Structures are given as C-alpha cells and as structure tokens.
C-alpha cells in the first residue's frame, strides 16, 4: 500500500499546483473558542497545510466565555470573506453545537458536518480516496466499521456501500464476542472507537488485508496510539497493512479538508470584497473585536478604506485580497 503520508504529500503537491493557477486564492477561516490544547495542535496542523499549498487563512480566537450569539456573529463575519469555515470542536458546554453547525453556510462547511453540506466529511472521504488511490477494490469485499459517529462511522458506512462492499457496523452495544467474530471474517476493518490498543491480532482473520485505524488515544505511557495494538499484529500476522497513529488517517483528513477548501473557492460563492464585508457588518451593528496582533501596514489601511493590497499577513483585509 502507498502510505497515508506519501499519499498526502502527492495530493498536497497536486493542490499546490492547482492553487498556483487560480486568480483568487482560496481562503479558510478557523474559529477557535477557548484554549483547548488538542485544538491548538490540530489548528497548527491545518495552518501548516494551508501554508504549504497556498491557501490563505485567518484564525479567529474567541474567549472561552464568548456568548453563542457572539460566536454566531463571528461565523457571519467569516462568511463574508472566507471560502471555507471551520469551527474547531470541542466547544464549551454553554454553546449549542447544532446551532453553530447550522450557522456555517452549507457551501462553506468544508468539514462536511452539516447534513446538507456541499462537502463530504473529511475523515471518511479521506479514507475512501486513499483506498481508491491504492486501487483497493471494495466491491464484493466484507467491510466492518467499528463506531457509528455522525462524522466518521455513519458516513463511512454509506460510502462503502456505494462502492459495493458488504458492510457491518458495530457500536458500543454490540456484543464483544460477536464484534471479534465479525472483524475476524472481514476483508477490511475500519476502527473509530477511541479505545487505546483495543484490538489485537486475535481480532483479525486470514482474509483481512487492511486495517484503517481512526482512533487517536494515549497509551499507558501517555504516548499517542490508535485503537489497534500494532505491535501484536506486526509480530503475529503477515500481510495485513495497518495505518499508523500518528501519521495515518489524520493526514488523510487534513488533505481532504484542503481539497474541500479549494473546491469551495472554485464554486465561487465568495465574491465579497472587504468593503462589502465591512458594510454588511456595520448594518448588523457588528464590532470587529479580534484583529491579528501583527497587522501589516497595508492591512491597517485597508480596514479603514476597504482596499487590501497585501498577501503577507492573515488579517481579514489581506484574506480577501485586492478589490
Ligand atoms: N476537532 C477535532 N477534529 C476536528 C475537525 O476535523 N474539525 C473540527 N471542526 N473540529 C475538530
């Protein structure tokens, strides 16, 4: 199999070249509420990816105590200027996640979280694209999905069915003995249960050739690991490819997000200029609270005048680009 890492590199290079030819470069808005450390790390990854391929981005970092109303305003603000919007999860408990998901226009929901999103969820889509890239034939295969979440298990089941696989989906209520029996009979197992090293060599039979490990957990020593005990598989099973954690499915998710952002830009739903965005916000009595610290000279000017001419910082003015 071509590894997730190699695949992601090839895809990023393809996207970089595609973006190079685009007159208006794609723009992503990442909204973060609070200071969750895991979210910081995810966002750093997304920023690095954007920089590598030439996607402009802005991070709107809001306080842990921000009201839902203010967060929704920030989403509206982002909608004026960005092709894709991400509200990083988890959110504080006082904020209703469904309200937030529905506030992101479906044509900018590059995470694919809305049911009517124009985009597919990044993790399952990334897995299927990677399997396709490897010319892994799913038609007629026996696939077992462990986990039934809205953003991984459930959409993945549909995608596998669409490709002609026979699919079984287990959840936390599935009898453990049955679950092990099912995965033993599978050709491909995709695990998204979030339990460190929960599956070992005994859970997989001779037909199994690929295990896709979606879990991101910490082991007993605090080290990142997946749902699968890789060591036991490597020692005791031949011919099974297990995606690594870290460096596996996470990279597939990230590259699919980039594809979605580029597609969102190409769809051409974002035509607003800074001037439009500012007048829209003024009409809504909106006060832009968060301006990046290292605002460049051009940006200072364009926030006042509505003209942006700078490609070097990530303030809204530069994000939108020239009028
Ligand atoms: N939190 C962890 N992963 C993700 C992701 O892919 N998207 C969003 N919005 N939040 C996350």
Distance of alpha carbon 195 from alpha carbon 217, whole angstroms? 7
Band (80; pLDDT cuts 50, 70, 90): confident
Band (237; pLDDT cuts 50, 70, 90): confident
Write down the pLDDT at residue 322: 32
Write down the pLDDT at residue 297: 55
**By mean pLDDT, which of 226-230, 241-245, 294-298, 313-317 is the weakest?**
313-317
Band (218; pLDDT cuts 50, 70, 90): very high
Q: Read out DSSP for 222-268?
A: S-EE-SB-HHHHHHH-SS-EE--SSSSHHHHHHHHHHHHHHHHHHHT
Q: Atom of ligand 1 at shortest distance to CA of 86?
A: 9
Domain boundaries, the chain: 4-119+253-320, 122-247
pLDDT tens digit sequence for 158-194: 999 999 999 999 999 999 999 999 999 999 999 999 9
Contact 55, 25 (CB under 8 A): yes
Q: Which of 96, 114, 118, 128 is nearest to 256 (CA)?
A: 128
Contact 16, 72 (CB under 8 A): no
Helix axes 4-20, 37-53, angle to 10 degrees: 50
**Residue whose structure tokens are 């979440």:** 149
**Residue 77: CA count within 13 A, CB half-sphere:** 27
Band (308; pLDDT cuts 50, 70, 90): very low
Write down the pLDDT at residue 176: 94
**By mean pLDDT, which of 21-30, 56-65, 97-106, 136-145 is the weakest?**
56-65
Band (62; pLDDT cuts 50, 70, 90): confident
Instruction: Tell the residue nearest (CA) to atom 8 of ligand 1.
Output: 88
**Residue 132: CA count within 13 A, CB half-sphere:** 12
Prediction pTM value: 0.87
Q: Which of 226, 193, 195, 191 is nearest to 210 (CA)?
A: 191
Distance of alpha carbon 38 from alpha carbon 133, whole angstroms? 30
Torsion of CA 250, 252, 256, 258, to 10 degrees: 70
Average pLDDT over residues 229-245: 92
316: pLDDT strictly greater than 80: no
Distance of alpha carbon 128 from alpha carbon 282, whole angstroms? 44
Q: Which of 64, 19, 18 is nearest to 39 (CA)?
A: 64
Give the fold, CATH level 3, of 4-119+253-320: Rossmann fold (3.40.50)
232: pLDDT strictly greater than 90: yes
How is residue 120 written in tokens?
């597919």
pLDDT tens digit sequence for 97-136: 999 999 999 999 999 999 999 999 999 999 999 999 999 9
In the structure, which protein residues have their CB atom closer than 6 angstroms to any atom of ligand 1?
42, 86-89, 111, 122, 253
Write down the pLDDT at residue 88: 95
* Beta-bridge mates of residue 56: 27
Element spanning 158, H or E? helix 153-162
Q: Which residues are CB-neighbours of 304 under 8 A, at least 6 positions away? A: none
Domains 4-119+253-320 and 122-247 agree in fold: yes
Q: Ligand 1 pocket test: pick from 44, 85, 102, 111 the residue with the most ligand atoms within 8 Å of its Cβ.
A: 111
Write down the pLDDT at residue 205: 95
Q: Atom of ligand 1 at shortest distance to CA of 111?
A: 7
* Beta-bridge mates of residue 218: 224
| Distance from Cα 201 to the centre of ligand 1, integer Å | 30
288: pLDDT strictly greater than 50: no
Q: Under CATH, to which class is 122-247 assigned?
A: alpha beta
| Distance from Cα 89 to the centre of ligand 1, integer Å | 5
| Distance from Cα 123 to the centre of ligand 1, integer Å | 10
Distance of alpha carbon 179 from alpha carbon 175, whole angstroms? 6
Contact 253, 121 (CB under 8 A): no
């Amino acid at each position: 199999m071509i590894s997730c890492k190699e695949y992601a590199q090839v895809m990023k290079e393809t996207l970089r070249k595609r973006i190079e030819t685009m007159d208006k470069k794609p723009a992503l808005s990442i909204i973060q509420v609070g200071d969750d450390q895991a979210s910081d790390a995810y966002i750093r990854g997304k920023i690095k990816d954007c920089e590598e391929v030439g996607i402009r981005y802005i991070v709107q970092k809001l306080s842990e105590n921000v009201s839902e109303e203010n967060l929704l305003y920030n989403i509206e603000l982002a909608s004026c200027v960005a092709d894709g919007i991400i509200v990083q999860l988890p959110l504080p408990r006082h904020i209703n996640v469904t309200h937030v998901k529905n506030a992101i226009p479906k044509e900018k929901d590059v995470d694919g979280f809305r049911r009517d999103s124009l985009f597919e969820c990044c993790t399952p889509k990334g897995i299927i694209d990677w399997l396709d890239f490897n010319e892994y034939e799913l038609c007629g295969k026996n696939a077992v999905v462990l986990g039934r979440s809205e953003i991984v298990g459930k959409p993945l089941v549909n995608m596998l069915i669409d490709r002609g696989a026979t699919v079984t989906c287990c959840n936390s209520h599935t009898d453990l003995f049955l679950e092990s029996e099912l995965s033993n009979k599978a050709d491909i197992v995709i695990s998204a249960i979030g339990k460190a090293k929960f599956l070992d060599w005994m859970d997989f039979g001779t037909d199994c050739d690929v295990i896709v490990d979606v879990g991101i957990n910490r082991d007993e020593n605090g080290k990142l690991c997946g749902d699968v005990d890789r060591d036991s598989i490597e020692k005791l099973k031949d011919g099974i490819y297990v995606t690594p954690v870290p460096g596996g499915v996470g990279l597939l998710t990230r590259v699919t997000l980039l594809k979605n952002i580029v597609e969102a830009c190409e769809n051409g739903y974002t035509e607003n200029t800074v001037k439009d965005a500012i007048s829209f916000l003024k009409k809504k009595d909106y006060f832009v609270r968060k301006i990046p610290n290292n605002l460049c000279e051009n940006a200072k000017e364009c926030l006042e005048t509505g003209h942006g001419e700078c490609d070097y910082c990530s303030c809204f003015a530069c994000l939108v680009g020239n009028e």
